Structure 1
Amino acid sequence: MKGFDPEFQDLDHYIRVITDRIWEGRRLQDIERYYGADCAVETPSSVSIGIEPVIAGTRATLQAFPDRRLLAEDVIVSGDEDGGFLSSHRILSPMIHAGDGVFGPPTGQPVVARTIADCVCIANRIVHEWLVRDQAAIARAIGLHERDLAARLLRAADGRFSKPAMPPAPAPYVSAIATQGPAADFAEEWLQRLRQPQRTVPLATLHPELLAWVPGGEARVGASAMGAFWQGLGTAFPGARLEVEHLAAQSRPGRATAIAMRWRLHGEHAGPGRYGEPTGAPVSLLGISHAEWENGRVVREWVMLDEVATWMQLLSR
């Protein structure tokens, strides 16, 4: 890989190794080695620029969860060494809530939560990142509803949710948007389900025995159960504008094809659904989805949304 240290075999290897060094090895100083000086990082509730916020965020997470592990479930790679790679890295983190932080005083409760990080990688550095963690799963594990945690965080911010715009990724990187094949078929049905929540959209691409994981650490089994999740989300935000920012499939001989999709929903909480009675609040949701595709069907799916950030927007003054 052009510009990368020769020890790295490919981008999958690069991401797994540097993640292990920074998190499992607690080598936070390696962030300065593997992140660009002007790296922008967006989460559903924040945007930061530069290395120092990345280091500070890592320290804060380890303060609250000192034994946190980052177990790589998958790394879905797109791009190339000339235009820049993107790694969509799905992580499962077991941990104990043993320290102070945004989740309040330590509860001693065990937590398991997923994160997906989309990282633009050029010449041995992460230069742009979108990161979505299932904060609702953490809140529930320590005995809080995600709405109540959101209300607590809002009080600390004077009741207002404010988030700056994410700058564009640095040239020459351009996000991949698949226009045909499994990823395109997956995205088209996904868009239909959200745009037409009151209609019964055929779940043609979902396997009848689909296994899926949605926010709050919830598992869904079967196409109809997953369809109900999307209906609840779409009904809450009728007429929302939907954007697919990244869409790629990675074929793997002898294994399911892996699909990664980063998306945004811009709308108004104007209907009943997953978030209760409508508040009329404007929302902008950042989500990342992974799926595994076999024989023309989705057999496994992961939907990453930070519903603490969603509730912060719904409750914001």
Structure 2
Amino acid sequence: MYNKVWERRSFKYVKKFYSVNAVVHYICNKELVGYKQIQGQLNSLFSSVPNAKVIIERVTCNQKGSDKDWDVSVRWRLQGPHEGIGIFGQPCGKPIEIFGINQLKIVNGQILEEWLRSIKANLFGFRWRK
């Protein structure tokens, strides 16, 4: 999922990896429900850093019941220039590093629920935290 949706920016694959009524508990108590909202938020994030490199630092998986039911935690990082308008506002062209941890509840092979536990960005010498 992180390769196709995040690294390749192929947001159409959200429909393949998320269930139709998936809920993403995003930062600032924002809840994203369904494909369109999830795709929109990913588009906003990656619009800020269109050429960012996606680095997956750690993945932890715990099987729940069947072989298609899992609890998964993913620690990730995005690195690249702040070149576009998106979640971080007007572009400055300077390097940005964004850190996050996602926890996913996978049921029957699809993401049913996801929590973005933290998102932090280091941008032009100060820490942005939402």
Percent sequence identity over aligned pairs: 20
Q: Which has the higher contact order (CA 8 A, sep 6+)?
A: 2
Structure 1 residues 223 and 314, CA gap change in structure 2 (3 angstroms): farther
Amino acid at match of 1:305: S
Partner residue, 2:45: 233
Q: Which is greater in Rg? A: 1
Partner residue, 2:123: 313
Name structure 1 gaps, 5 residues minimum: 1-188
Contact 2:101–2:118 at 8 Å: present in 1 too?
A: yes
- Aligned CA RMSD, in angstroms, stands at 2.2
Question: What is the deviation of 1:273?
Answer: 1.2
Question: What is the deviation of 1:291?
Answer: 0.3
Q: Looking at secondary structure, tell me which structure has more helix per residue.
A: 1
Distance 2:105 2:36 in 1: 18
Q: TM-score, normalised by structure 1?
A: 0.36
Distance 1:228 1:314 in 2: 26
Amino acid at match of 2:96: V
Question: What is the deviation of 1:200?
Answer: 4.4
Question: What is the deviation of 1:194?
Answer: 2.7
In the alignment, is residue 300 of structure 1 matched against residue 110 of structure 2? no
Question: What is the deviation of 1:314?
Answer: 4.9
Name structure 2 gaps, 5 residues minimum: none
Distance 2:37 2:103 in 1: 17
In the alignment, is residue 202 of structure 1 matched against residue 13 of structure 2? yes
Where 2:93 maps in the other structure, the secondary structure is coil
CA displacement, residues 98-126 of structure 1 (integer Å, 9 cap, x when unaligned): xxxxxxxxxxxxxxxxxxxxxxxxxxxxx
Contact 1:260–1:290 at 8 Å: present in 2 too?
A: yes
Partner residue, 1:183: none
Contact 1:195–1:239 at 8 Å: present in 2 too?
A: no
Query: How do 1:61-80 and structure 2 match up within 5 A?
Result: none
Q: Looking at secondary structure, tell me which structure has more strand per residue.
A: 2
Q: How many residues align?
A: 124
Query: How do 1:1-317 and structure 2 match up within 5 A?
Result: 189-197=1-9, 200-203=11-14, 204-253=16-65, 256-306=69-119, 309-310=120-121, 313-314=123-124, 316=126
